[in-house]
Structures are given as structure tokens and as C-alpha cells.
Amino acid sequence: MTVTRQDFEDAVAAYWGAKESQRELSAIKDAVGAGTAGAVRGGKHFDGIAALLAKFFLVAGYAPEDIRVTKKQGLELPGYYRPQKQWDVVVVHDNTLVAAFELKALGGPSFGNNYNNRVEEALGSAVDLRRAALAELFPGEKPWLGYFFIMEDHPRSRTPVGTRDGAFPVEAVWNGKSYQDRFSIFCERLMAEGLYDSICYITSSEADPKPAEPAVSLDWRHFAAAINARIKYLSDLGLPFESRLPF
């Protein structure tokens, strides 16, 4: 059993309520508790995505109790500039933070209201945890961070956005860019700076849930490959210690 492109597309469709997760993903949701995670993530929209990510680790032999998707399980991880921060999916085995994921979205019709908030959240979460790792708050292998982001495909997210005159000129790369373009640049720079180990950035909508992938380096294929590379890296080091395949 592997994580497939169809799993990915089904999970994105489920985000919009366009369809129920396929039977296999539904079983995974039950196994790791994602079906009750709605209150944590402000609705059940991301439950299918959480199950999708959980599948990678279940297939690799991690136990369901290694995979945390609900507040009851404990999604908080220590920070450096604050005591702790709640992530959306956390995988821990022994003393190693195998992976931590942020699952976020930006929808309309007023994209500008929350765009800066999403940027600041993503930056703050990664910087805080990376600095905590330098302070040796994660005793096992170096933590691995993933970011999954859905931008609603909408005329207003596709339309170029202007910038205001300020004390200094805006970097030219931002000129004439839409919110979709801006977020692609942002995610590529997060990766270039090593703040996240992999990012999946897609656009989608309720009317047409089939995901579009604006940047090759941020597409599902690269994201899935990075997760599998993390699993293989830890496997070569002997993690998980006990391989248990639940399916």
C-alpha cells in the first residue's frame, strides 16, 4: 500500500466537502483520530489531509499512537520565543520529532485581510521551532517540518495586486503579482531558507476541487518524495524501532 496521487486529489476534494474520503483514508482517519479533529482545526475540512499525511507513516510501520492529529493527543511542540505552539499533525517516535506539519488555507472573497496573517504564522512557527532545536529541546534526530497550503482559486486571488508607496521601494519581484503568485514566491523562499523541509502549495475551489500546482518545486510529487525521503533516512537509522504495518 502506498500513498497515491488519487489519495491526494480525494483529500483535497474532501476539504471542500465535494466528496467523502475513500474507504482507505476513512479507515486511517479512524485509526489516528483524525475523524474527531475538527474542533482543533476549526472544522473538519483538513481531516482528509491529516489522514493523507498519516498514511505515509502508517505504511512505513509507525504505530497509530506515534501520529498525533487531535488536541487530546497533544499537538503542542516546544518553542524558543514562546513556551510551545500547537501544530496540526505531529509524528513522534521515541525521542525524535519525525515530522510536524502545518495545514493552512486562504479563501476569499477578501484575500488581503488574511494574507499577511498566513505569512506571519508560517514564518513564526518555523523560526520558533528551528531555534528551539538549536537550543537542544528536541533530543533525537533533527526535526523535519512540512507545510501544506490551499489557496482558493478565485478571480480575486488570480488578479494582480498593487503595492503602496512607502519609505523604500518594494522588491521588483512582487510587482504585478496576484495573491496566488505572491504565495508561491513566499513558499519558495521558505524552502530556500531551510525553514521548512518541504511545502505543498496548491490552488483549488469548491466549484473545481481538482488541485492545481502553481510551482513545480512545491507540487505534490516533490512534497510526497520529501516525506518518503525523511522516512527512508530515519529507517536507515533504525526508526521506527518496531515496524508494525496496520493494514
Instruction: Give me the DSSP letters along 15-27.
Output: HTTSSPPPHHHHH
Q: According to the model, what pLDDT value does residue 243 have?
A: 53
Q: According to the model, what pLDDT value does residue 41 have?
A: 45
Answer yes or no: are the C-beta atoms of 230 and 98 closer than 8 Å: yes
Q: According to the model, what pLDDT value does residue 62 have?
A: 96
Q: According to the model, what pLDDT value does residue 59 have?
A: 94
Strand partners of residue 91: 67, 99
Distance CA 241, CA 39 (A): 32
CA proximity to 209, closest of 37, 1, 21, 3: 21
φ/ψ (deg, to 5) at 202: -130, 160
Q: Give the DSSP H/E element, type plus range, for residue 154.
A: none
pTM, entire model = 0.91
List the chain residues with pLDDT less than 50: 37-43, 247
Q: According to the model, what pLDDT value does residue 40 have?
A: 38
Strand partners of residue 145: 100
- Report DSSP state, residue 223: H
Q: What is the separation of C-alpha 89 from the centre of its chain, rounded to a whole number of angstroms?
A: 8
Q: According to the model, what pLDDT value does residue 23 have?
A: 63
Distance CA 220, CA 210 (A): 12
Distance CA 232, CA 247 (A): 19
* The three grid cell numbers given for residue 77, joined into one nine-digit string: 511542540
CA proximity to 136, closest of 78, 87, 202: 78
Strand partners of residue 147: 102, 199
